[in-house]
Structure 1
Amino acid sequence: MDDVILSYIPVEKIKIGMRVSYSQTITDADIKAYAGLSGDHNPVHVSQEYAEESRYGRRLAHGLISIGFFSALFGMRLPGPGCVYVSQNMKFKKPVYIDDTVTAIAEVTDVNIERKRVFFSTNCYVKNKLVISGEAEIYIP
């Protein structure tokens, strides 16, 4: 199915294959803001000098910045306002760097109408390469 843009959709109308996406370029300001919010000041994220000496050669974005895009997709588009995250698993496949544009895609893989649960595959891409894969479960009150 094509991407859908929704503000709210009831569980009874959610179908397997529905998907939403969001893209954002990661900036130095994003990394500094996330470090301040989370308390994660790991020098591989915040110090160019340290990162240049690491195996990555440059600063990495915090992995949870990219994962955070799913919260926006679920809470604002599919299923939309009022839904609640139940679980999220993830595997970090490749690093995300400053100035990378991350595209987060959430696709419905299962729906349990009785329990009001929707299950998603959650994948992030940079330049069409998978950088994060995972699955999420969302509750719709």
Structure 2
Amino acid sequence: MLDNLPRGTICIEDLEIGMSRHLRKTVTDRDIELFAEVSTDRNPVHLDESYAQDTIFGGRIAHGMLTAGLISAVIGEQLPGHGTVYMGQTLKFLAPVRPGDTVEARVTVLAIDHARRRVTLDCVCRVGDTVVLKGEALVLAPSRKFD
């Protein structure tokens, strides 16, 4: 399940502090398997329930970077959107995401440097009321002046 706002581009000239976009995605076993295949991260805590039962998580969890990828989706598809260039990202993983969890990834504009086309974004992922990931991204935003 993927629930999000319309995709596209918000040029830097139209961005405002506090502007926010999000998406929701239910993480499936298939998502975890595909991420393991693409990333080559086959840690059994993600793929083997019996192994994961004996870890601090007490069961399988999704890759942290799979969750972080949802932030990338919001940035690349919605805010600022198409044409955005990632410059940096900080991430703090606070709680596990499990198969079947619905993650909301939300990105909010914190600061805008119009002269350099740089935008600082607050990034938060939640499962219900639990913050599972937070950080900041720095991006180069698209501009109508460079179309």
TM-score, structure 2 as length reference: 0.90
| Gaps in structure 1 of 5+ consecutive residues | none
| Residues in 1 aligned to 2:121 and 2:53: alpha-carbon distance in whole angstroms | 36
Moved more, 31-40 or 73-82: 73-82
Structure 1 residues 5 and 110: CA distance shift in structure 2, 3 A: farther
| Residues in 2 aligned to 1:105 and 1:54: alpha-carbon distance in whole angstroms | 29
The match for 1:37 is: 38
| Residues in 2 aligned to 1:132 and 1:119: alpha-carbon distance in whole angstroms | 17
The match for 2:128 is: 127
| Residues in 2 aligned to 1:71 and 1:132: alpha-carbon distance in whole angstroms | 13
Aligned to 1:114, the other structure's residue is in SS state helix
Structure 1 residues 6 and 48: CA distance shift in structure 2, 3 A: closer
Residue by residue over 1:75-97, the C-alpha shift from the partner in whole angstroms, topping out at 9 and shown as x without a partner, is 11111111110001010111111
| Gaps in structure 2 of 5+ consecutive residues | 143-147
The match for 1:74 is: 75
* Kept in 2: contact 1:88–1:136 (CA 8 A): yes
| Residues in 1 aligned to 2:121 and 2:33: alpha-carbon distance in whole angstroms | 30
- Aligned-CA RMSD value: 1.4
Structure 1 residues 109 and 50: CA distance shift in structure 2, 3 A: same
The match for 1:62 is: 63
C-alpha displacement at 1:140, in angstroms?
2.2
| Residues in 1 aligned to 2:47 and 2:7: alpha-carbon distance in whole angstroms | 36
- Structure 1 residue ranges (4+ consecutive) displaced by more than 6 angstroms after TM superposition: none
Pairs aligned (count):
139
Residue by residue over 1:40-68, the C-alpha shift from the partner in whole angstroms, topping out at 9 and shown as x without a partner, is 00010111110011121110100011110
C-alpha displacement at 1:70, in angstroms?
1.4
**% identical aligned pairs:** 39
Structure 1 residues 129 and 80: CA distance shift in structure 2, 3 A: same
* Kept in 1: contact 2:25–2:102 (CA 8 A): yes
